[in-house]
Structure 1
Amino acid sequence: MSVYYNNLVYLLDRKDLSVAQFENVILIPKNKILEPTPVELVKIANYLDISIDLLITRPLKNLNKVLSTDIKMIILDVDGTMTDGGMYFTENGDQMKKYNTKDGMAIKNLVKTGFQFGIISHGYKIKVVEDRAKLLGIQNLYVGKEDKLTILNQWLTELNLTLEQVAFVGDDINDIKIMEAVGLSACPKDAVKSVKAIADIILEKDGGKACVREFIDEYITK
């Protein structure tokens, strides 16, 4: 079965509809529902209130969790998530990082609404990350070797939020503990296998290639 068909059946089941019943609702013949033209696909996606990209390319086994989770805060890893994982050094030994402007735009727009963001990184150059956080208006920042979940729990106490209200996007083994604890977890397409195995959502974009923008647009502000 195709990803599209499995997703279609899953979404219709949530509406207590079979494919045969859906035929009468949307006024498209069953054979066209199963193999729609672009115009018919737009109509089907609009009825199901989902993007065409999600409908035809990504298994929605975790959609129920995504839709039912009341996310109030997003925590981001840096290297391999907000960046491509590469590290750049000047002749003086100063570290530089390459960030994605599309990620930045999505973060800034959500911050303006009062949404909480945080960065937790096991890197060692706090100034590099601090400058990015300040530019984006990110309210919570930690760079160091302390346990990520411990840092997050401290923030949640101050903000009166719960782990269930937190989404985390990370890519490597040091993110697994916190990903398993929060309400919703996601990882870039090029995350390590052990992270992909436990992530609720595997994004289509690689780290540093607007994967954060994808997560925000497709799963938080959709």
Structure 2
Amino acid sequence: MAQPESAAKIRLMGFDVDGVLTDGSLYFTPNGEEIKVFSSLDGHGIKMLQQAGIEVAIISGRSSRALALRAANLGIGELHMGVEDKRACLDDLLARRGIARAEAGYMGDDVVDLPILRACGFSATPADGHPFVREHVDFVASRDGGRGAVREVCDFLLASRGVLDAMHAAYLD
């Protein structure tokens, strides 16, 4: 399990899409348009990361208009779709931002995500991530992909920085 000290250093958190921000199901209309279902809990967690100064990126092997719309809705400027080499994409992003790998995190769910997961200072997977991936990450969420796993990771990162309680308290005022 990840230690709060290492999670507190994260300046950029990246997410996979299918199986992380969604439940991994692929829906297509008769016209071939892809439909994705996202969790509003996860979306608010992403917004909270941004409010705390943690940059958010999406690095996905697939491309979809639905994802582009969701990323725009969340104010995520670093959207990388159709990426074959996610680790190389991350390295380029970090170089442009002046961020060390130890200050980056990523959440993925399948074995194809292991190269990027192992390159980060913090790695996570949903509860229903592939069993082999669960053995090789810092944090395994108790919730499934597309069902609050991202929010759980966001809350862990914010708690590790010591800001989660204050962010929650603001909703009680």
Query: Which amino acid is the alignment partner of residue 53 of structure 2?
Result: G
User: Which is further off, 113-122 or 178-187?
Assistant: 113-122
Query: Which amino acid is the alignment partner of residue 44 of structure 2?
Result: M
Asked if 1:94 corresponds to 2:22, the answer is no
Of the three residues 117, 121, 128, the one matched with 1:179 is 117
Separation in structure 2 between the aligned mates of residue 119 and residue 68 of structure 1, nearest angstrom: 21
- CA shift at 1:68, angstroms? 3.4
Gap regions ≥5 residues in structure 1: 1-60
Q: Does the Cα contact within 8 Å between 2:2 and 2:122 map onto a contact in 1? A: no
Separation in structure 2 between the aligned mates of residue 205 and residue 143 of structure 1, nearest angstrom: 25
Residue 138 (structure 2) aligns with = 200
Q: Does the Cα contact within 8 Å between 1:73 and 1:117 map onto a contact in 2? A: yes
Residue 5 (structure 1) aligns with = none
Separation in structure 2 between the aligned mates of residue 183 and residue 115 of structure 1, nearest angstrom: 14
Asked if 1:221 corresponds to 2:150, the answer is no
Separation in structure 2 between the aligned mates of residue 213 and residue 196 of structure 1, nearest angstrom: 18
Alpha-carbon RMSD:
1.3
Of the three residues 15, 35, 56, the one matched with 1:76 is 15
TM-score, scaled relative to structure 2: 0.87
- CA shift at 1:114, angstroms? 3.2
Separation in structure 1 between the aligned mates of residue 63 and residue 71 of structure 2, nearest angstrom: 15
Separation in structure 2 between the aligned mates of residue 168 and residue 115 of structure 1, nearest angstrom: 12
Separation in structure 2 between the aligned mates of residue 173 and residue 124 of structure 1, nearest angstrom: 19
Q: Following superposition of structure 1 onto structure 2, how do residues 1-222 of structure 1 map, counting pairs within 5 Å?
A: 61-63=1-3, 66-69=4-7, 70-125=9-64, 127-217=65-155, 219-222=156-159
Q: Does the Cα contact within 8 Å between 2:87 and 2:115 map onto a contact in 1? A: yes
The structure having more radius of gyration, on CA atoms, is: 1
Gap regions ≥5 residues in structure 2: 160-173
Q: Does the Cα contact within 8 Å between 1:188 and 1:203 map onto a contact in 2? A: yes
Q: Percent identity?
A: 35
Instruction: After the TM superposition, list the runs of 4 or more consecutive aligned residues in structure 1 that deviate by more than 4 angstroms.
Output: none
Deviations 1:37-77 (A, max 9, x none): xxxxxxxxxxxxxxxxxxxxxxxx543xx323411010000
TM-score, scaled relative to structure 1: 0.68
Residue 36 (structure 1) aligns with = none
Separation in structure 1 between the aligned mates of residue 42 and residue 52 of structure 2, nearest angstrom: 16
Separation in structure 2 between the aligned mates of residue 145 and residue 136 of structure 1, nearest angstrom: 20
Query: Which amino acid is the alignment partner of residue 108 of structure 1?
Result: K
- CA shift at 1:145, angstroms? 3.6
Separation in structure 1 between the aligned mates of residue 84 and residue 112 of structure 2, nearest angstrom: 11
Residue 163 (structure 2) aligns with = none
Query: Which amino acid is the alignment partner of residue 119 of structure 1?
Result: I
Q: Does the Cα contact within 8 Å between 2:11 and 2:53 map onto a contact in 1? A: no
Query: Which amino acid is the alignment partner of residue 103 of structure 1?
Result: D
